[in-house]
């Protein structure tokens, strides 16, 4: 059977633009690419604790057998959701299979026809996809520009408005001024929704995320917290009121029409949170590495080409797909795993190297990779 020409043409365009994606091969390079910020995906302690917990509680890892509304809602779910809600100082928590499922489920179900969604122009694809499935109207506002946001609000009086943003943006690694955003939201009685995917394990004494670090949790309508980054496992959770949880159980299609996570997956989430609460060294070590990375890039006069960030994501702008790929390849040849982010994933001219920092990166490794970078960009 011939492959459809329209699809083949799109692939060819990617090839011509030097932006064709392919699955990366496993490697043993020094990790500056993964989102495993505090090393939980590699933790033998969490791995062993999960299996011991399942044994101690006689929980058989048979796997979920269907939607949580049919046969997949094993008892471990409520225990884990209650623990997460308490950890995040939220009235309720509802587990989803992934951050993508959580965002698509929330934004496709909660905003209604006649409502308005205002979202940061750099919001993640999962938020955008959920918005596209919504019956509400939507407009984007300029990145972290709350004057632009306020103008959009003022142009749409007497409308119920949801504001969507991220506490740490996945490509730039920067953070919005959350206090200012909360002020704008409260001024106009908007509902603020914050994706905390890249803040869990990074901000707060126990890695609770940026919202709790700033003591703003009672002013946010919904938080989406993803586990595939800082917690090092599958799944995500929507934090909010009990009414919100009930609404999502009834109307979020990505929750209703999917197989629930297995007992082993949910136990891994629970043990990850237990470890996050106990092991403050993991978060502190990451924070020290973020500070050190910023110090070294300043010392090497690299700061002007980096996007300002105090998170674990540090991005250096190197325009042009071909050029940024060449520098990434050179770093990989020197033993460092750093990924080039190409257009159209980011706008043309905003191509970049995205450095992901971890608590297990040594100061020597950070110094070496930035020294190499300074030689390649001269």
Residues 31, 88 share a domain:
no
Rounded CA-CA distance 153/181 in Å is 13
**Average confidence (pLDDT) over 97-110:** 98
Q: What is the pLDDT of residues 217-275, one digit of tens each?
A: 999 999 999 999 999 999 999 999 999 999 999 999 999 999 999 999 999 999 999 99
- 212 C-beta neighbours (distance < 10 Å), count: 22
Last residue of a domain, one of 278, 302, 324: 278
CATH of the domain at 239: 3.40.640.10
Determine the pLDDT at residue 47: 95
pLDDT for residue 59: 84
Q: Are residues 203 and 343 in the same domain?
A: no
Virtual torsion, Cα 143, 147, 149, 152, nearest 10 deg: -130
What percent of the chain is modeled with pLDDT above 70? 99
Domain-located, residue 2: no
**Lowest mean pLDDT across 69-73, 294-298, 347-351:** 69-73
Q: Cis ω on the peptide bond leading into residue 41 (within 30° of 0)? A: no
Instruction: Let me know if residue 19 belongs to a domain.
Output: no
pLDDT at 220: 98
Q: At what angle do helices 99-109 and 125-133 cross, to 10 degrees?
A: 30
Average pLDDT of the segment spanning 92-121: 98
Rounded CA separation 277/44 (Å)? 17
My answer on whether 252 and 230 are in the same domain is yes
- What pLDDT, on a 0 to 100 scale, did the predictor assign at position 63? 55
- pLDDT, tens digit (0-9, with 9 covering 90-100), for 170-214: 999 999 999 999 999 999 999 999 999 999 999 999 999 999 999
Task: Answer whether residue 128 shows pLDDT above 70.
Answer: yes
Assess if residue 342 is contained within a domain: yes
Q: CA 90 to CA 223: how far, in whole Å?
A: 9
- For the chain, how many structural domains are there in total? 2
Same domain? 66 vs 141:
yes
Contact of 237 with 95, CB cutoff 8 Å: yes
- pTM of full prediction above 0.85: yes
Q: Is residue 9 part of a domain?
A: no
> Looking at the predicted structure, is the pLDDT value of residue 9 above 70?
yes
Residue 125 three-state SS: helix
User: pLDDT (tens digit, 9 = 90+) per residue, 11-60?
Assistant: 999 999 888 888 888 889 999 999 999 999 999 999 999 999 999 998 87
pLDDT above 70 for 61: no
Under 8 Å CB-to-CB from 286, ≥6 apart: which residues? 37, 38, 201, 202, 312, 357, 358, 359
183 found inside a domain? yes
CATH number assigned to the domain comprising residue 346: 3.90.1150.10
pLDDT band at 71 (very low <50, low <70, confident <90, very high): confident
194: CB partners within 8 A, 6+ apart: 164, 165, 166, 167, 178, 211, 220, 222, 223, 224
86 and 159 both lie in a single domain: yes
Residue that is written with structure tokens 């700061």 in the block: 303
Residue 216 has pLDDT above 80, yes or no: yes
What is the predicted pLDDT for the residue at 43? Answer: 95
Please, where are the H alpha helices in 252-320? 253-256, 263-278, 280-299
Provide the CB-side half-sphere exposure for 313 (13 A, CA): 24
**pLDDT for 64:** 57
**343-368: average pLDDT:** 95
| Burial label, 1 (beta-carbon count in 10 A; 0-12, 13-18, 19+) | exposed
Please give the average per-residue pLDDT across 320-337, as a whole number. Answer: 95
Q: How far is CA 76 from the centre of its chain?
A: 25
329, 210: one domain = no
Q: What is the DSSP string of 223-270?
A: EEEESSSTT-SS-EEEEE-HHHHHHHHHH-HHHHTSPPPPHHHHHHHH
91 and 231, same domain (yes or no): yes
Q: Give dist(CA 173, CA 45) in Å, integer.
A: 29
Boundaries of domain holding 268: 59-278
Does residue 319 share a domain with residue 219? no
């Amino acid at each position: 059977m011939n492959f459809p020409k329209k699809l083949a043409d799109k692939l060819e365009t990617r090839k011509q633009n030097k932006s064709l994606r392919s699955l990366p091969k496993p490697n043993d390079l020094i990790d500056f690419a993964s989102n495993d910020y505090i090393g939980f995906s590699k933790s033998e302690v969490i791995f062993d604790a999960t299996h011991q917990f399942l044994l101690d509680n006689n929980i058989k890892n048979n796997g979920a057998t269907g939607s949580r509304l049919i046969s997949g809602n094993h008892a471990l779910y409520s225990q884990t959701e209650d623990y997460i809600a308490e950890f995040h100082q939220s009235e309720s928590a509802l587990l989803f299979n992934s951050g993508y499922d959580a965002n698509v489920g929330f934004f496709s179900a909660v905003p209604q026809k006649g409502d308005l969604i205002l979202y940061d122009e750099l919001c993640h694809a999962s938020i955008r996809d959920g918005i596209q499935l919504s019956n509400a109207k939507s407009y984007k506002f300029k990145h972290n520009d709350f004057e632009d946001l306020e103008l959009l609000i003022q142009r749409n009086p007497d409308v119920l408005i949801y504001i969507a943003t991220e506490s740490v943006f996945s490509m730039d690694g920067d953070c919005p001024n959350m206090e200012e955003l909360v002020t704008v939201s409260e001024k106009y009685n908007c509902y603020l929704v914050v994706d905390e995917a890249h803040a869990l394990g990074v901000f707060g004494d126990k890695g609770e995320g940026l919202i709790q670090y700033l003591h703003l949790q009672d002013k946010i309508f919904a938080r989406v917290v993803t586990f595939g980054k800082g917690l090092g496992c599958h799944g995500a959770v929507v934090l909010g009121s009990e009414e919100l949880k009930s609404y999502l159980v009834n109307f979020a299609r990505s929750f209703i029409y999917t197989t629930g996570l297995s007992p082993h997956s949910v136990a891994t989430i629970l043990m990850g949170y237990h470890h996050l609460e106990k092991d403050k060294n993991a978060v502190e070590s990451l924070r020290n590495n973020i500070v050190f990375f910023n110090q070294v890039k300043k010392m090497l006069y690299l700061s002007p080409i980096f996007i300002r960030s105090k998170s674990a994501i540090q991005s250096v702008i190197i325009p042009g797909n071909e050029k940024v790929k060449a520098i990434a390849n050179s770093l990989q040849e020197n033993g460092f795993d750093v990924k080039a982010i190409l257009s159209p994933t980011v706008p043309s001219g905003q191509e970049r190297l995205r450095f992901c920092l971890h608590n297990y990166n040594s100061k020597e490794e950070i110094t070496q990779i930035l020294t190499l970078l300074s030689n390649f960009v001269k």
